Amino acid sequence: MHRDSERHKLFSRRAAMLAGGKTVLLSTLVGRMYYLQVIEAERYKTLADENRINLRLLPPPRGPILDRNGFAMADNQQNYRALVIPEQAGDLSHTLALLSKIIPLSEGDWRRILRDAQRKRAFVPITVRENLNWGDVARIEVNMPDLPGVLIDVGQSRNYMFGEETAHVLGYVAAVSEREMTGDPLLELPGFRIGKAGVEKVYDQVLRGSGGSSQVEVNALGRVIRELARQEGEPGSEVRLTIDLDLQRFVAERLGDHSASAVVMDVHTGEVLAMVSTPSFDPGLFNKGLDQEQWDALVHNEKAPLTNKSIAGQYAPGSTFKMAVALAALEKGAMTPETKVHCSGSTKLGNAEFHCWKRGGHGTMNMHSALEQSCDVYFYEAAKRTGIDRIAAMGRKLGLGETLGIDLPGEKHGLLPSRKWKMGAYGVPWQLGETLIAGIGQGFILATPLQLAVMTARLSNGGFRVSPHLMEDANKAEGNLTPNLESLGLPPEHLAVVRGGMNAVVNGTFGTAKRSRISYPGYEMAGKTGTVQVRRITKLEREQGVVKNKDLPWKERDHAIFVGFAPVDNPRFAVSVVVEHGGGGSSVAAPLAKDILLKVQKLVETERGPSDLEASLERSTDEIGTGKVGKARNET
């Protein structure tokens, strides 16, 4: 009995211990479940949603670029592209091999995709091919089950509506390179483009905008089921330029196949109305991606289509520099407008002989007639009396020898030599003969077409420091069309002498550009021709007869230059035209400038006979096209 009682007590204790243990375990389980389902509910809900919901960054639409009248020059269009997400693709090379049977992938595409997969995070989509057509999209969509990690995305691609005609101003966008990665998530998006040249580069941040986001539900394999929410980004701002699209296209058409540049600007505001460099290139190719053959064709072209000659082409200004020499001589008092110099065709300095472009000479010249007929001997003498340092100082006042700060990348500063410069650059003293050569705008002197246009604008606007720009000025919207400009301190009577000479160049009896005068009343232009030698003419060649440009290889022909302004009585527009190896400034560059100045005046015409002006323009174009302008002359 006692033994049974002990057994019962033992059993009861064990049962109680077991029950207690079960109670503790059950309490622990309940507590844990409460902790997970109540206290940590939000956390685990979020973790579950992260496995089910993907948050994707959306690229913002790039802002449009408009001309001064609101016409689009660069905008966006739909772009279908194939993407691959490495972490979902598994064996990326195998997936690419399958995809290459549907759409062609070059060796370059393979290298790029595998390289991007190495340097980007595994969940970031990589662009396989862009600009797919409907057939490509349909074939990929049908084969999606066999292409893990591959998806079709509809994005936007930059569209340049006028391609080559605006390429050097607008520039282009292209894919982000590794060295351009700044940590901005937008830059890692597949197919994202940034500005690489021109206005696209300078105003990239303005045009880029800010990204949006999209929440999409995915299945266990990572395939998108549906979009849950979308927040659009902030589109890039529009950029309105001072360029007049009609004028820009007209200038590009007139320059044609020449290796040339032309700049048109408002002499009072500095607005650049047209800036053309030829030959040009298709900016859309950089957006889509150049192949090696296309790249080689651009890089090895002797006419340098990738260079914006308007701001990066540096040329001896030739006789277009004579206005600066004249002003420097007047400022110093070395010469007066009435000072006479006799030109017999050459002048001597020691044992060296310096020739005039006119072999028999011009006879006795004053400053007005020397500008009109572009007498080299007169300006040799003017330079000798004035000195290189005074000439260089005047050139800088007029905008030469320094960058002008235009809102484009790659602007060159040109060169205005001085005694100090030569000693620093070459370690030898400046020679008087070099001053004479500088007097006709050759030797060390270099200028860009933009600088020549600015020089002409400052001469014609009364001597004010106007500066060129492409972004439309906010002052214009407020009605301030004539901003306050700094005076260059040039006496009006000196400017009148120079402007009178430029008027005679085109409208005078003996002017070197008289064949290019504008006959329509009130629209006359003034200007200055320039013919720049790019080779040395030997004494023997001068005795036997200088070889004509047309008989020389293209690279050895003279550069043709013309600068001008219009209308003569109330200057509003300035132009510079440079035709590389084009021949004579009077026969090649001046007729182009005439047509350009006629066109820009026509575009702003409101009251004075637009139909008559149009007829004048058409007659001018027809005459040039049929060769009725006149034979080429070796005039400076």
Q: What is the pLDDT of residues 16-54, one digit of tens each?
A: 777 777 787 887 888 777 776 777 666 555 545 555 666
**H or E segment at 562?**
strand 559-566
**What was the pLDDT predicted at 615?**
46
196 and 267 in a single domain? The answer is no
Average pLDDT of the chain? 85
Q: Residue 62: which pLDDT band, with cuts at 50, 70 and 90?
A: very high
Q: Residue 175: which pLDDT band, with cuts at 50, 70 and 90?
A: confident
Of the listed ranges 79-83, 342-346, 449-453, 487-491, the one predicted with least confidence? 79-83
**H or E segment at 532?**
strand 526-532
**What was the pLDDT predicted at 323?**
98
173 and 262 in a single domain? The answer is no
Number of domains in the chain: 2
| pLDDT digits 0-9 by tens, 354-403 | 999 998 999 999 999 999 999 999 999 999 999 999 999 999 999 999 99
Q: Which listed residue (277, 280, 310, 319) is catalytic?
A: 319
Question: Residue 433: is its pLDDT beyond 70?
Answer: yes
Express as a percent the part of the chain with pLDDT over 90: 55
Q: How many C-beta neighbours within 10 Å does residue 19 have? A: 10
Provide the residue type at 445 as one letter: I
| pLDDT digits 0-9 by tens, 68-86 | 999 999 999 887 888 888 8
Domain boundary among 189, 217, 240: 240
Among this protein's residues, is 177 annotated catalytic? no
**What was the pLDDT predicted at 629?**
32
Residue 304 lies in a domain: no
| pLDDT digits 0-9 by tens, 176-200 | 887 888 878 888 777 788 999 999 9
346 and 198 in a single domain? The answer is no
Question: Residue 517: is its pLDDT beyond 70?
Answer: yes
More confident position, 281 or 11? 281
Q: Residue 105: which pLDDT band, with cuts at 50, 70 and 90?
A: confident
- Look up residue 403 and give its two tokens: 């960058």
Domain residues for 88? 55-240
Cis previous bond, 279, omega within 30: yes
191 and 320 in a single domain? The answer is no
C-alpha to C-alpha distances, 307 to 408, 462, 473, nearest whole angstrom = 12, 33, 26
Q: Residue 539: which pLDDT band, with cuts at 50, 70 and 90?
A: low
Question: Residue 477: is its pLDDT beyond 50?
Answer: no
Domain boundary among 240, 271, 289: 240
What does the longest C-alpha to C-alpha distance in the chain come to?
157
Domain boundary among 208, 240, 272: 240
Q: What angle do CA 495, 496, 500 make, to 5 degrees?
A: 120
Q: Are 325 and 391 in contact (CB under 8 A)?
A: yes
254 and 235 in a single domain? The answer is no
168 and 275 in a single domain? The answer is no
Residue 303 lies in a domain: no
Residue 33 lies in a domain: no
368 and 449 in a single domain? The answer is yes
193 and 261 in a single domain? The answer is no
Strands 341-343 and 150-160: unpaired
**What was the pLDDT predicted at 479?**
47
Question: Residue 622: is its pLDDT beyond 70?
Answer: no
Question: Residue 231: is its pLDDT beyond 70?
Answer: yes
Question: Residue 173: is its pLDDT beyond 70?
Answer: yes
Cis previous bond, 567, omega within 30: yes
**What was the pLDDT predicted at 218?**
65
Question: Residue 633: is its pLDDT beyond 50?
Answer: no
- Look up residue 56 and give its two tokens: 């994707």
Residue 9 lies in a domain: no
CA 154, CA 79: separation in Å to the nearest integer?
6
Q: Name the DSSP letter for residue 415.
A: B
| Residue 343, SS3 per DSSP | strand
CA 107, CA 178: separation in Å to the nearest integer?
20
338 and 428 in a single domain? The answer is yes
What average pLDDT does the segment 524-529 reach? 98
90 and 152 in a single domain? The answer is yes
**What was the pLDDT predicted at 7?**
65
3-state helix, strand, coil in the chain (%, to 5): 45, 20, 35
Residue 524 lies in a domain: yes
Range with the largest mean pLDDT of 115-124, 145-154, 157-166 = 157-166
Question: Residue 507: is its pLDDT beyond 80?
Answer: yes
- For the four alpha carbons of 550, 556, 558 and 561, in that order, the dihedral sign comes to positive
**What was the pLDDT predicted at 48?**
54
CATH number of the structural domain spanning residue 137: 3.90.1310.10
**What was the pLDDT predicted at 389?**
97
Alpha helices by DSSP H, 132-237: 134-142, 167-170, 198-202, 204-208
Question: Residue 605: is its pLDDT beyond 90?
Answer: no
CA 594, CA 467: separation in Å to the nearest integer?
23
Q: Name the DSSP letter for residue 35.
A: I
Q: What angle do CA 360, 361, 364 make, to 5 degrees?
A: 145
Residue 211 lies in a domain: yes
Residue 418 lies in a domain: yes
More confident position, 165 or 227? 165
**What was the pLDDT predicted at 223?**
57
Of the listed ranges 62-66, 522-526, 623-627, the one predicted with least confidence? 623-627
- Look up residue 398 and give its two tokens: 């007029």
CATH number of the structural domain spanning residue 328: 3.40.710.10
**What was the pLDDT predicted at 58?**
76
Please state the length of the chain: 636
Of the listed ranges 90-99, 429-438, 501-510, the one predicted with least confidence? 90-99
- Look up residue 622 and give its two tokens: 């027809």
260 and 125 in a single domain? The answer is no
229 and 272 in a single domain? The answer is no
**What was the pLDDT predicted at 611?**
43
Question: Residue 452: is its pLDDT beyond 60?
Answer: yes
Q: Residue 485: which pLDDT band, with cuts at 50, 70 and 90?
A: confident
Residue 295 lies in a domain: no
**What was the pLDDT predicted at 11?**
66
Q: Residue 542: which pLDDT band, with cuts at 50, 70 and 90?
A: low
**What was the pLDDT predicted at 593?**
98
